[in-house]
Structure 1
């Protein structure tokens, strides 16, 4: 599977996970853009949501995320979160 196809498949799965973890309605999740700020900008996206999101990523994508793989910058925008998940899936 090429990188563009992998990202196409990942995007809806990550949006679904965000909807589940943050309790966001579908229209709000669909409106997420790559440069949309998450941590500190969305009231629902707090430190507890980050912990739940990491667990959800592990469960949904069948992988283990090591503590040293996680950086605060990974949660700044939807695009950086998407890139983080791509990175941990690709290792």
Structure 2
């Protein structure tokens, strides 16, 4: 089975040096993680955040990834901008990040 092409292959510059990985946190002693529970620790960029996901056409996905790449921004940053624009359009206050 072949893999789908990755947008990471579109990078035209070498990736920056990454810091040494930190050890993974130990699993909980009892109970285990139930559905909807969040890990006690995680990457700082995800702490206090909630995932929003959707399914889009391959053309939309490609267009958004290319726009993000051309602007030197993350797809997440473009999505936050789009969501804030929708909130403004419907009379709500934009949230930011």
Same fold (TM over 0.5): no
TM-score under structure 2 normalisation?
0.24
Would you tell me which structure has more helix in proportion to its own residues?
A: 1
- For the pair shown, the structure with the greater C-alpha radius of gyration is 2
